[in-house]
């Protein structure tokens, strides 16, 4: 699975949009971009995933560049409850292994 | 959304005892379940992958005789830490996925403390 690079930490003011970048320059054609987050002492929570088109759901938007070498997770109106570690994971879908490799992620702190 | 539960949420045990952790998919049939552990201030590390009715596949460095995994039904997987020692103290997290989708849903985790 392709390696991802994320900034170790970011701050965001409450109510503003949080934009979390992820570089995945070695991504291959059949690999998806997944985002999970982990609030302290809880299990990871699925946020969103995509292949090449931008995606939006009730939690966030995922913007993938045309060359697919990077992506941005957007939380449109960050709240204090969005403070967590956000993981960008790239992996082929429907593989036999099916596991997720968690890197170090980005620790997002939403500031009142 | 899909819900995965774990029990217990936290457990404290004496060194040398065995501890069983349950992972259940509440509203879907989990064809594959995964077990991760997370040490303080570190990321999740995959321990093993289990498919219902098959033997688990362990990651390199994970002792299969120490971490027994059973996935006897499509809604339940168990992880038994045998002869636990203080270095096994960690946050154990399971996840599950079902046929036709590649999204994994995670349980809330079990914090194990071995005295």
In whole angstroms, give the CA distance from residue A47 to residue B89.
Answer: 29
Cβ contact (<8 Å) for A104 and B1?
no
Model confidence at A96: pLDDT above 70: no
Average pLDDT, chain A: 91
Put simply, whether A5 touches B (Cβ < 8 Å) is: no
Cβ contact (<8 Å) for B46 and A87?
no
pLDDT tens digits, one per residue of B47-85: 999 888 888 999 999 999 999 999 888 899 999 999 999
Q: Name every chain B residue with its beta carbon within 8 A of the beta carbon of A102.
A: 36, 43-45
Interior angle at CA A1, CA B59 and CA B5, nearest 5: 55
What 3-state DSSP class applies to B78? strand
Model confidence at A98: pLDDT above 80: no
- Check if the beta carbon of residue A60 is closer than 8 Å to that of residue A12: no
Cβ contact (<8 Å) for A99 and B34?
yes
Put simply, whether A96 touches B (Cβ < 8 Å) is: no
pLDDT tens digits, one per residue of B84-111: 999 999 999 999 987 767 788 999 999 9
Write down the pLDDT at residue A94. 52
């Amino acid at each position: 699975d392709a390696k991802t690079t994320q900034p170790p930490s970011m701050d965001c003011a409450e109510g503003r949009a949080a934009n979390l970048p992820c570089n995945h320059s070695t991504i291959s054609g059949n690999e998806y971009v997944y985002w999970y987050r982990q609030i302290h002492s809880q299990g990871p929570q699925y946020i969103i995933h995509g292949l090449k088109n931008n995606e939006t759901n009730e939690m966030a938007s995922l913007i993938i560049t045309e060359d697919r070498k990077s992506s941005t997770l957007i939380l449109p109106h960050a709240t204090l409850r969005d403070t967590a570690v956000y993981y960008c994971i790239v992996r082929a879908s429907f593989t036999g292994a099916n596991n997720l490799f968690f890197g170090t992620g980005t620790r997002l702190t939403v500031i009142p | 959304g899909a819900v995965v539960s774990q029990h217990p949420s936290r457990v404290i045990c004496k060194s040398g005892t065995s501890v069983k952790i349950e992972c259940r998919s509440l509203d879907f049939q989990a064809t594959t379940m995964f077990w991760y552990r997370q040490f303080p201030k570190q990321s999740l590390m995959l321990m093993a992958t289990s498919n219902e009715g098959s033997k688990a596949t362990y990651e390199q460095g994970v002792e299969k005789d120490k971490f027994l995994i059973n996935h006897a039904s499509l809604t339940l997987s168990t992880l038994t830490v045998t002869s636990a020692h203080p270095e096994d103290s960690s946050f154990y997290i399971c996840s599950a996925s079902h046929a036709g989708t590649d999204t994994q849903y995670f349980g809330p985790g079990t914090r194990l403390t071995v005295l």
